[in-house]
Amino acid sequence: MKVHKFTGALMVVASLSVGTMSVNNAAAAESEYSFKVHNGTRVKITKLLVSENKKEWGYFDIGQGIAAGGDMTLVWDQSTNNEGCDQYVKAAYADGTESEEAKFNFCEANLDLEF
Distance CA 27, CA 89 (A): 15
Positions of the chain with pLDDT under 70:
1-31
Distance CA 48, CA 9 (A): 15
CA dihedral 72, 29, 108, 69 (to 10 degrees): -10
Q: Does the CA dihedral 26-32-36-37 come out positive or negative?
A: positive
Q: What is the pLDDT of residue 81?
A: 81
pTM passes above 0.75? no
The amino acid present at 112, given as its one-letter code, is D
Q: What is the pLDDT of residue 92?
A: 98
The CATH architecture one would assign to domain 3-114 is Sandwich (2.60)
Give the other-Cβ count within 10 Å of 109's Cβ.
9
Residue 17 belongs to what H/E stretch?
A: none
Q: What is the pLDDT of residue 77?
A: 84
- Each domain of the chain, given as residue ranges in start order, spans 3-114
